[in-house]
Amino acid sequence: MERFSSGVWMNECMYEYIQSFNHSIIQKLRTDLLSNKYFLALIFFCISFSFTTAQVYPDPKVDSLLHSGIEKIINQKYDLAKKDFVILDKKFPELPLGKIYMAAVEIAKSSDLASLYNSKFIRQKLEEAKEISENLIDKDEYNIWNYYFLALAKGYDAYFNALNGEWLSAFGEGVTSINLFEHCLEIYPEFHESFIAIGTYKYWKSKETQFLGWLPFVDDEREEGIKLLEKAIGHSSYNSYLAINSLIWIYIDKGESEKAVKLAQSILEKYPKCRFFRFGLARALEDIDLRKSIDEYYKILNSFSESEKPNRYNEILLKHLIAQQYNKLGEYQASLQLCNEILSIKNLTDYEKQKLEERLERVKKLQKELQ
């Protein structure tokens, strides 16, 4: 499966959390699992936007602002989304949600557009949100939403640490986040907000730790994870797209790309401009119809506005993917032309060079094979 960068490119990032039992296993997990960024992003995405499902927050004003802001993030209207969350924070300063989602917007925007993160702002908001959440739990340990707030904040913190290569911190915060989601289910077994994060985690944790399958205490929870996601779809009122997004990538992983295409097409009917979901569709189509896959990748490439194009990362990334599909089709000249276009791009910033170093080597290799 093609590995992508963070944010919009969902198949390079996933959460990699697993209990280790000796030094050698820890090292293998860090190398083979925590570096798999696809796992990080998918868990993050599900944790990040799973708030306003069937059990909406009791205050309708809070729910309305959350729903509005989240919809805008999904539609890549980041500045408008941030305004909603700033209002939420000002009107409800006793809740951590405004701060959590102000950080979320910054992460989503920078990930989508492959730009530098506003790290100081993101970390500050998440720390403040965790502190508020912990204080709320101290005041009312029976309120399920207080634990959900903390799970959400720690989930974002884990993801952001992973984006910055801080794997041990990401591991610790990520496991704690999942444990908090599980605690929500202990309080209320039908708390569907937890199903999406836990279901995705269970599937990919089991998938990525198959090499430990001979151990008696390592269970294969992939089917259980899928069932949780399917249950989330059946009970969600606003965010069934989260479980759908997870299942798209799970079906691709299982070799059931036809199912992935059907799911992706269904969600794109509601969010036709969403690059997250269109990428899932494009990747699934690689296994079914390469020309249609190319068409979808071009749609993503052409979806960026002029104001969203200062960074060349996305252009190079997508052109390389398209070149690979042309190569599979035997249309070598079209593939070579794209490789030449990529390698003719000059004056990359240090940030772009760092992010693209490995990919540019792969482009050069493909170009050499085609000449």
CATH number at 160 reads: 1.25.40.10
Q: Which tokens is 110 given? A: 């920078």
Query: Is 178 within the bounds of a domain?
Result: yes
Q: What is the structure's pLDDT at 205?
A: 81
- Helix-helix angle 97-113:144-163, to 10 degrees: 30
Question: Please, where are the H alpha helices in the chain?
Answer: 23-29, 37-48, 60-74, 78-91, 97-113, 119-139, 144-163, 167-187, 192-208, 222-235, 240-253, 257-268, 275-285, 290-301, 313-329, 332-343, 350-370
Exposed (0-12), middle (13-18) or buried (19+): which is 255, by Cβ within 10 Å?
Answer: exposed
Counting the structural domains of the chain, the total is: 1
Report the mean per-residue pLDDT for the chain.
Answer: 84
Q: Is the pLDDT of residue 118 over 90?
A: yes
Q: Tell me, what DSSP letter sits at residue 51?
A: S
Q: Read off the pTM.
A: 0.81
Query: Is 93 within the bounds of a domain?
Result: yes
Q: Is the pLDDT of residue 369 over 60?
A: yes
Query: Is 323 within the bounds of a domain?
Result: no
Query: Is 348 within the bounds of a domain?
Result: no
Q: What is the structure's pLDDT at 202?
A: 86
d(CA 167, CA 160): 10
Q: What is the structure's pLDDT at 212?
A: 58
Q: Is the pLDDT of residue 10 over 50?
A: no
Query: Is 347 within the bounds of a domain?
Result: no
The radius of gyration computed from the CA coordinates of the chain, to the nearest angstrom, equals: 20
The stretch 17-21 carries a mean pLDDT of 30
pLDDT in tens, 291-347: 999 999 999 999 998 888 777 999 999 999 999 999 999 999 999 999 999 999 998
d(CA 32, CA 175): 17
Q: What is the structure's pLDDT at 215?
A: 56
Q: What is the structure's pLDDT at 184?
A: 94
Query: What whole-number percentage of the chain has pLDDT above 90?
Result: 59
Q: What is the structure's pLDDT at 193?
A: 79
Q: What is the structure's pLDDT at 190?
A: 87
Query: Is 316 within the bounds of a domain?
Result: no
Number of Cβ within a 10 Å radius of residue 305 = 7
Query: Is 85 within the bounds of a domain?
Result: yes
210 close to 32: Cβ distance less than 8 angstroms: no
The stretch 203-214 carries a mean pLDDT of 71
The stretch 248-252 carries a mean pLDDT of 94
- From the list 280, 293, 292, 290, the residue with the least C-alpha distance to 253 is 280
pLDDT in tens, 62-105: 999 999 998 999 999 999 999 999 999 999 999 999 999 999 99
Number of Cβ within a 10 Å radius of residue 302 = 8
Q: What is the structure's pLDDT at 182?
A: 95
More confident residue, 9 or 162: 162
Q: What is the structure's pLDDT at 163?
A: 87
| Helix, strand or coil, per DSSP, at residue 161 | helix
Q: Which domain holds residue 88?
A: 10-273
Query: Is 209 within the bounds of a domain?
Result: yes
pLDDT in tens, 123-164: 999 999 999 999 999 999 999 999 999 999 998 998 899 888
